[in-house]
Amino acid sequence: MGYFITFEGVEGCGKTTQIKLLSDFLSARGIDTLLTREPGGCPIADKIRAILLDAENQALSPLAELMLYAAARAQHVTEVISPALEAGNIVLCDRFCDATLAYQSFGRGIDRSIIDSLNLHACQGVSPDLTILVDCDPAIGLERARRRIEASSGPREERFELEALAFHHRVRDGYRQLATDQPDRFLIIDGSDSIETIFAAISRRVLARIPEALRAVC
Ligand code: TMP
């Protein structure tokens, strides 16, 4: 089996920059990684992502939203994550099941037992070995995310950026609660530091955690 690392955090926390830096860092040391993301990561799940993040879909009900995340995850795990882990790869995923707890349960208020049950089926036995929570003040993160959306020429994936600040505070508090509940799996990194300082902390701690067999070439 490979090793599964997920990155989580509120909008604009910097996790996408950090996961790419980590992928390059490990590749440069001869450690193959598969870099993927949720929602998305394969063609069918990417189509579901487009529905989920389209700012025009304001009428999407919380339950329909939850089930679309679960559907995208089921496809992504089947098609991409499980085969890569079975082949012994290190898989780096930008968001995974914790995002559904943080956003749909802590953020939207959907009963946690419904989400746990859907995650159980969608994940099909796959669970992160390590989760890096890039913790960040939602006001600062949202400002960064809005600047990124304005500068992008692609589709405006901003349905969540349009949510009230209070929603994003619930998401952040939810993530911190999840990390407190599972200290062995989560690493909390302060997202207010510089990109270089954050990456130094992540790379050092990730290298220490990757199993010996997978980092033999380091
Ligand atoms: P991204 O901006 O990090 O690509 O994530 C897409 C958005 O989807 C982000 O606003 C968080 C949200 N999301 C959920 O609400 N639930 C989930 O299960 C996942 C994976 C993401």
Q: Which of 48, 77, 95 to mutate to test the pocket of ligand 1 (most atoms within 8 A of CB)?
A: 95
The region of weakest confidence among 55-59, 64-68, 92-96, 98-102 is 55-59
Ligand 1 centroid – CA 29 distance (Å): 30
Q: What is the pLDDT of residues 115-142, one digit of tens each?
A: 999 999 999 999 999 999 999 999 999 9
Q: Where are the domains of the chain?
A: 3-215
Identify the CATH number of the domain defined by range 3-215: 3.40.50.300
> Is pLDDT above 90 for 83?
yes
CA-nearest residue for atom 13, ligand 1, is 99
Ligand 1 atom, smallest distance to 103 CA: 15
- Whether 11 is in the pocket of ligand 1, judged by its Cβ within 6 Å, is yes
Contacts of residue 142, defined as CB under 8 A and 6 or more positions apart, other chains included, come to 10, 11, 12, 161, 165, 168
Mean pLDDT of the region 29-39: 94
- Whether 8 is in the pocket of ligand 1, judged by its Cβ within 6 Å, is no
Of 45, 48, 40, 32, nearest to 16 by C-alpha is 40
- Whether 95 is in the pocket of ligand 1, judged by its Cβ within 6 Å, is yes
Q: What pLDDT is stored for residue 218 in this prediction?
A: 44
Pairwise CA distance, residues 108 & 39, whole Å:
17
> Is pLDDT above 80 for 217?
no
Contacts of residue 169, defined as CB under 8 A and 6 or more positions apart, other chains included, come to 138
Whole-number average pLDDT of the chain: 94
